[in-house]
Structure formats: structure tokens, C-alpha cells
Amino acid sequence: SQQGEEDPQALSIQEGENATMNCSYKTSINNLQWYRQNSGRGLVHLILIRSNEREKHSGRLRVTLDTSKKSSSLLITASRAADTASYFCATVVKAAGNKLTFGGGTRVLVKP
Amino acid sequence: DAGVTQSPTHLIKTRGQQVTLRCSPKSGHDTVSWYQQALGQGPQFIFQYYEEEERQRGNFPDRFSGHQYPNYSSELNVNALLLGDSALYLCASSLKARRGGETQYFGPGTRLLVL
């Protein structure tokens, strides 16, 4: 079963706009990670946020984590056509080693 | 710095056959995890190898087996292939699995089609 569930499932925006996607999970986590996947290829790690952190930034990416609501959000600012991809959140549960449990992903289309 | 490599990139098999997929981890990494990603879905954890032993396993049948070599490279074997085994198989490497929560680096995947 999937630990994380992304919302929305698909997102279409214009270049330059911001893209926000959310992830909800069910159990207490060690950390939550966001990955990007282009056209069914390998996943690229974007950012890791630990359970004791509330917000992290990396370039145009901003991730928040609310452990009380068991949710996270990924914001991509000033989107570019190259940001077109599927974005996945993945959780690491304390009792389960470092295996990643992925959600179903958000498919983002950035139109030029 | 070599990233994670996987071979082959694509593979076509028929039902009942066996397949072996290969993965070389990122330089310096000692842990390899395998994931199955069906079309349109998120990856599902198959198992993880560390120190040449299977350390964790997801909800996959015994038809799925693996191996890790002393150089940390790994193989995923699937016996008695079913149509439902058609998927993208992803290998990910990381460092010191026992610490938990380390970033995993993914290879480009092997796309398996079972006819």
C-alpha cells in the first residue's frame, strides 16, 4: 500500500507561474523526500526534509512539512518548460529502515 | 563520479521465462534497493541489499530474488514471468542502510515487457 498520496494528480501551468503539489501520508516518518521523473526514466532526488524540520529550500524549490497534519508540500517557483515531469513524494518510516514508500505522483506540464 | 548504472535498458520476454537485471551502484555506495514501477504509478519497493544480504523486502512473491556481490553491484532475478511483471525496474543506491533515511540515487531503469 502507498504511504504517500500526492494531490493534484495532474497540473498544467504557464511558464513563469508557480506550481504547488501536496503529499499526505499515514504513519510517523523519519523523513520525507521529493523526486522528479522525466518521461518514465530514472528518478532524480530533489530534496529531503527530516521530521524535525518544517521548511527547506533548494534553488527554486520550497518544501514544507507539517507532521501534525501528516502532510508536505512542494512549491516550484517561476516554473520553466524543463520542469515538466512527474513529481513523487516518498516517505521513510522509522521502523522500516531506509526503504522509500512512494505516492502515485503529480504530473506537471509547464507550457511555454 | 560514476552514477548508478543499469543494464539492459530494455528487455522483452515471454510469459514463464526468467530474467536477470543488473545494477552498479554509485561510487562509494554500499546499499542497493530495487523498485518496480508500473505505468502511471509510483515505484514500489521490492527489496534492499547490504553487505551481500537481503535486509528488507517489500510485498513481492518469492519469484523475485536478488543478489549483491562484494563490489556492491546487484542483480534482480524474476522467475516464471507474468504479464503483470511488465514495468520499469529501478535500482537505487545509498550509503549505510542501517542508519536509515539516507538519500537514494536512482539509475535510469530497465523497462521490461512481458508478452
Give the helix/strand (H/E) hosting B96. none
Residue B97, pLDDT score: 52
Angle at A45 between CA A39 and CA A51, to 5 degrees: 135
Give the CA distances from residue A67 to residues A30, B33, B35, in Å, rounded to whole numbers and listed in that order: 10, 26, 26
Cβ–Cβ below 8 Å for A43 and B43:
yes
C-beta of residue A37 within 8 angstroms of C-beta of residue A43: yes
Q: Supply the pLDDT for residue B15.
A: 98
Determine whether the interchain pair A104/B42 forms a contact, defined as Cβ–Cβ distance below 8 Å.
Answer: yes
Q: Which of A37-41, A73-77, B74-78 has the lowest mean pLDDT?
A: A37-41
Q: Give A1's pLDDT tier (boundaries 50, 70, 90).
A: very low
Task: Give residue A59's pLDDT band: very low, low, confident or very high (50, 70, 90).
Answer: very high
Number of inter-chain CB pairs under 8 A, A vs B: 75
User: What whole-number percentage of chain B has pLDDT above 90?
Assistant: 83
Write out pLDDT tens, residues B78-107: 999 999 999 999 999 998 755 555 788 999
Contact check, Cβ <8 Å, A50/B42: no
